[in-house]
Amino acid sequence: MARLVVDLGGTNCRLALAKGGRPLTAVQSYQNAKFTGFSALLSHYLAETDRPVISEMVIAVAGPVTGPATAQKAELTNRGWQLSARDLSREWGAIPVQLLNDLSALGHSLADLKHSDLAVIHATPHPSAQQGPVVQKLVVGIGTGFNLSPVFADAQGSNCLKSEYGHVALPLDLHQALVAQLGAKAADFTTLECCFSGRGLAALYAAFAPDAAPRSGAQILAASRHNEVTEFIDFYAGLLALLSRNLLKGFLPLGGLYFAGAVARNLLTGPGGSAFVTAYSQRDPKFPDLGAPVFCILEDAAALKGCAGFRFPAA
């Protein structure tokens, strides 16, 4: 018997089996577009893996998870797929089923990530003292969209909070930085996701360099040697550092900021890393001793590991 773990993204779905929490076996990835729904995809995976006996299921979903623990629901917005923990449990033999937001799943993975699974972006020389036996961390995802999950870890495991933080209004200091650079165009960027996402990266670049050819977020990061792109990358990395300093004060993640997602990973491990560290490491005059290390999650299977390590609530 095994736990089925699933990382259901907007475009692709990764599945694996876990016994005793880990390690993962029978890891497979599928394109969502090839299936009519999640149940069809799941049936296909189980048929390809010789129909193992599934004792429980933990699914990370790239979207909001709603409802109480006994009646969780989730929707994969761009495909219109509806997931119900109760329906999945009934369909697969009354097994326990847990739905997690994908950022929460990443939070559950932190305790099991190896050194090689992380890129150290900024190692705090004198990290702030942890608050007793509980370590606070923060996972920040910047990819197709933006979201975060506060993580509280102790000897019993991790608690990872849900949020839809990409829809939070832009902080004043970030808005002021946009106004200083973009003028009236800053009014187009009202939420965090408007700036910190693949679409946000492309839109900010178009406002920053209106005479340049339009580029996607991936094209911008790949063309970082071009003069106008280099200037923009430094500006964008500075914005992310400013946001990170706000998050540091808002959540006190003294155990570390952990970035995930293609935009964050390619920016911080590539052309924007130096500019980010320079801006992030500036001392805050009101909180001169406040600091936290910064990492990028490199492990593609991190969400699956988080699902494998998740502990079901006591009955």
Residues 6 or more apart whose CB falls under 8 angstroms from that of 199 comprise 144, 217
Pairing of strands 12-18, 2-8: antiparallel
Instruction: Please report which confidence band the pLDDT of residue 207 belongs to, taking 50, 70 and 90 as the band edges.
Output: very high
Give how far Cα 98 sits from Cα of 21, 149, 155, Å: 14, 17, 22
Pinpoint the alpha helices (H) of the chain.
38-48, 85-91, 102-109, 172-182, 192-195, 198-208, 217-222, 227-251, 262-268, 273-280, 302-309
Whole-angstrom distance, CA of residue 75 vs CA of residue 65? 8
Buried residues in 207-232 as b, exposed as e (16+ CB within 10 A) = bbbeeeeebebeebbebbeeeebeeb
Opening angle at CA 29, ends 23 and 35, nearest 5: 135
Residue 285's identity, in one-letter code, is P
- pLDDT for the residue numbered 224: 74
- pLDDT tens for each residue of 275-309: 999 999 998 899 988 999 999 999 999 999 999 99
Contact criterion met (CB below 8 Å) for 76 and 10: yes
- pLDDT for the residue numbered 78: 72
Classify domain 2-108+301-309 at the CATH topology level. Answer: Nucleotidyltransferase; domain 5 (3.30.420)
SS3 210: coil
Supply the CATH classification number for the domain 115-297.
3.40.367.20
- pLDDT for the residue numbered 133: 79
Sign of CA dihedral 204, 210, 214, 218: negative
Contact criterion met (CB below 8 Å) for 146 and 192: yes
Whole-angstrom distance, CA of residue 295 vs CA of residue 98? 27
The count of residues in the chain is 315
Q: Is the pLDDT of residue 129 over 80?
A: no
| Omega cis (within 30) before 285 | no
Q: Which residue has the higher pLDDT, 157 or 207?
A: 207
- pLDDT for the residue numbered 253: 96
In the chain, where the domains are located: 2-108+301-309, 115-297
Contact criterion met (CB below 8 Å) for 121 and 276: yes
Q: Is the pLDDT of residue 155 over 90?
A: no
Whole-angstrom distance, CA of residue 232 vs CA of residue 311? 43
**What pTM, to 2 d.p., does this model score?**
0.92
Taking residues 57-80, report their average pLDDT. 89
Whole-angstrom distance, CA of residue 80 vs CA of residue 162? 21
